[in-house]
Chain A
Amino acid sequence: MSEAIRLSEYPRAKRIDERQPPELRFSERAVQELERIKRHYPNKRAAMLPALWIAQREYGGHLPPEALMEVAYRLGTSYAVVEGVATFYTMYNKRPVGRVMLEVCTNLTCSICGGYEILRHLEEKLGIRAGETTPDGQFTLVEVECLNDCGNAPVMQVGNRYFGRLTPEKVDALLEELKNSEEHTVVQLADTIVQCHLSESERQDIERALAKAQAGSGGQDGQNG
């Protein structure tokens, strides 16, 4: 669906002066992680995807324009290029999402096995339509294509876990569990993916560096651009 454009509003804003660094919000840990991930690639820009995952974690589950600007600044590339990459991939959230994202598969196998019933049930239960977020910001419900787990259809992905062979009763129990759990959140999924990009020794390295920074006063200012 295209957004309505009012001609008088365009261009939306004067361009931000690139010579001024944007506001930087990455935590010390994020900076350390990005620093190590960059070394895996021949140039900084190649680390764009993991960097966006770090940003998605750091900015609380989605990528606002400021997050894209920060990634661009830290990778020495233009804002537009980062936005292009971020909008290409569906797992980067460009709009704010709930704490937990429920992604219900309605592809062939799942829909035969009741995927749509699960989706309708969730819509009713949460009082929202697919693609929306509950007013309390707990859940975002999304209808997705094949999750590659047809053997367990109907399937739903919640954060970093799959839940298969769903029934409305199972879903109700799961919702209760998720409400009170810190597991399977959007942020946690981002973190899981970031950790996948780091080796065990790198993770230990980061812990050591962070401990050292904490022991010292203040530590780095986080600008390693």
Chain B
Amino acid sequence: MAEQELVTIEINGIELQVPKGEMIIESAKRIGVDIPFFCYHPRLGKEQAANCRMCLVEAGTKQPDGSVRMMPKPQTSCTLPASQGLVVFTDTVAIQKARRGILEFLLINHPLDCPICDRGGECPLQNNTLFYGPGVSRFVEEKRHLPKAFPISDYVVLDRERCIHCARCTRFSQEISGDAQLEFLKRGADTMVSTFQNTEFTSRFSGNTIELCPVGALTSRVYRFRARPWDMKSQKSICTRCSNGCNIWLDYRPNRLVRVLGRENEAVNEEWTCDRGKFGHEYISSDRRLLSPLVRRDNRFVTASWVEVYQLIASRIRQAVEERGAGAVGAIGGAHLSNEEAYLLQKLMRVAVGTNNIDHRLERNQVAGGDTLLARLGVPFTQTAIADIEKAKTIFIFGADLVDEQPIVFLRARKAWFRFGAKVIIAHPEPTETELRFDEPLVLRYRAGTETTLINGLSHLILQSGRAVTDGISLEELQASLSEYTPARVAQETGVAEDALREAANLLGEGTVILCAGRVRNHPEYAVLANALVNLTLLTGNGSRGNGGLNILLPEVNSHGAADMGVLPDLLPGYVPVNDREARERIERIWKASLPAEPGLSTQGMLEAAAEGKLQVLYVIGEDIAQKYHDPELAQRALENAGFVIVQDLFLTDTAQYADVVLPAASVAEKEGTFTNTERRVQRFWKAMNPPSPDVKPDLNIFAELAVYLGKPLPVFSAEQVMEEIGQVFPAYAECCYDQMPAEGVRWMPTLTDRGK
């Protein structure tokens, strides 16, 4: 960090040093002086709006003779930058009077319906009125009347009478999410927040405006009237809806989740949540949760005890191993499990069953654990930290509708452009919503299927320009392989104009962040494309993990963790190849067990084997493969033809309909553990509620107990203990011990030498 210039200021007679230019409202926090506000929000905008006038202070400057020259009028402290010799008073008689006046004005039109308002109890207007407002209003006339609460989307309810026109929601939608769907209509006393022509508020970040609203004007349709803030408990958790690992609060009443709020983590989600995360956790308190183990008898499910199902499963697995060998047992799942559970799952399969048939991937790319990237860049999937995206010089969004696929990564990318002026290139075969959120980005509209040609064409141009960085690549080989990708040919094949290609190549350089998602992961020739992307990354000088880098963002909450934990047929925890004897023996010593040396079947391989009736036992954990596998038909055939199907899930999913045994698992709110997000950040989540029934168990317990029944107990008593063991097996996780883990989590840094150690 560069040294910041400090200035000496004085607040209420207390002298303090603060960075030059810091807003006084922030400086006051340093010495615990409370300045009330409504519209101020440190993350909104380049400049504050200063339109609520609540944070007024009296200010002046020290003169050389020691006297203080006061400014004639009170100043808004949210726009008053600290400068040398500034003197501020926050609690003078004039300021107290001003605050009373502002609040009296705000309350002229604000209805006093606090007893039935969702914000009541956590409302800044209520709080500020209590502490700073007048006890009585002189306004006895009829208040302004506007439409009362009406829904503007599936999630948000708008009450125009309650609005105090702080502009937080409109600023959020214009500056942060960029969709600008909320705006003030009319002026003066008629001002009101609205969407265009009262149409639906379809922002993917609409939930944040609810949290930002300092009154009850924007409320959640889901949470509405379900609880009062004071009869909820909160627990820290991690959002499970995508691989970004946003930090959230789970607010719950006894055993019922009522809402999700964003939790601050500078490194991941700042404080935002997307709507999927904010409103997508209702399933936890669903009535349709599985409440006890089920066993299929006479073609229908009957409830059974855990002892029964464990015995049944153990006998079927033993039978399969005896008859056909351990290779006749396979497990699919892990991307939705915590690290500890994923680790224990693969240990169960490898040690207790003795097979490497284990995989967590449901997408078409089933190349071993990000092979190309790991070998050439030293990272499994992503080079850039989420927080570093905002430092990028150029952002190259390649084949991804980022708003849809990785909403919070999109917010960072947009911040990089909006706040820090990064250039944006978007390559996608179709018009995407993401394009609309930037002003005139460079759009490369290539034909689907020509991804590799496009990337090679860009690499070719960079090589030609002489700007190429050639560390760590064999230049001649690359030149030879790229020589055929001339701009003219690439333009013809991809359908992207030659000028656009050249412009894009000029923008690519050091500090370029490449963001890819599903389209790249599911590309039919993933390995070739990944190689081309790595070439481009290296040529632009982003191989060494500066601010730039290549990022293939992952689909599920713990896709990265499952890969780290070795829920892969060919890699043990820590990306250790199973056929690397020395490395395997190191893990064998820790586990005190011998491990199978032959790589197992990938998901595709297992499903194909099962479809042909070669797989005796198929164990599916937390994945609805009948629906979500990239080839659902194959998955369904596999489930039909597998000898014995065990499904472990929260619900009776489509996959569970094929099962012989269904095991009820606990949701993320009912257990503890860690998730590893797409940037390799290991973050903890805590147990909030009890499972809906005593027969619902965390996956960790199920794996541990199953191991006992299989005769190879894996002694564990808690997730914390498992994490300690993971730290021994995979040293990169050594820092992730629960008692040492910092609040923002641990982003583990891979080194190539980890491999095979």
Contact = CB atoms under 8 A, between A and B. Distances in A.
Given A2-B145, A19-B433, A80 B152 contact: no
B436 A84 contact: no
B439 A76 contact: yes
A41 interface: no
B196 to A, nearest CB: 4
B568 to A, nearest CB: 38
Contacts of B375: none
B145 A80 contact: no
Chain B, interface size category, equals 20 to 34
B197 A83 contact: yes
A68 interface: yes
Interface stretch (B182-190, B282-290, B550-558): B182-190
A87 to B, nearest CB: 4
Interface string B115-158: 00000000000000000000000000000011110111100000
Contact of B196 (A7, A10, A76, A80): A80
A154 B469 CA distance: 77
Contact of A5 (B150, B432, B440): B150
B200 interface: yes
Interface in B426-465: 431-433, 436, 439-440
A19 B145 contact: no
A14 interface: yes
A88 B187 CA distance: 5
Interface string B183-214: 11111000000111111111000000000000
B174 interface: yes
A3 B196 contact: no
Interface residues of A, number: 26
Contacts of B433: 18-19
B80 interface: no
B187 A11 contact: no
A7 B183 contact: no
Contacts of A16: 199
A45 to B, nearest CB: 9
B679 interface: no
B573 to A, nearest CB: 44
Contact of B199 (A3, A13, A88): A13
A65 interface: yes
A122 B110 CA distance: 40
Contact of A78 (B179, B197, B432, B440): B179
A2 B150 CA distance: 14
B426 to A, nearest CB: 13
A7 B436 contact: no
A7 B431 contact: no
A11 B201 contact: yes
Given A2-B145, A7-B150, A76-B440, A12 B185 contact: no
A116 interface: no
A88 B186 contact: yes
A11 B433 CA distance: 21
Contacts of B146: 2
B439 A5 contact: no
Nearest to B153: A11
Interface string A1-38: 01101010011111110110000000000000000000
A15 B200 contact: yes
Interface in B406-441: 431-433, 436, 439-440
B180 interface: yes
Interface string A85-106: 0011000000000000000000
A76 B195 CA distance: 17
Contacts of B439: 43, 76
Contacts of A83: 183, 185, 194, 196-197
A224 interface: no
A80 B194 contact: yes
A77 interface: yes
A96 to B, nearest CB: 16
B218 to A, nearest CB: 14
B199 A12 contact: yes
Interface of B: 145-148, 150-153, 174, 179-187, 194-202, 431-433, 436, 439-440
28 contacts: A2-B147, A3-B147, A5-B147, A5-B148, A10-B198, A11-B153, A11-B195, A11-B199, A12-B199, A13-B199, A13-B200, A14-B200, A19-B436, A76-B439, A76-B440, A78-B174, A78-B183, A78-B196, A79-B196, A80-B183, A80-B194, A83-B194, A83-B196, A84-B184, A87-B186, A87-B187, A88-B184, A88-B186
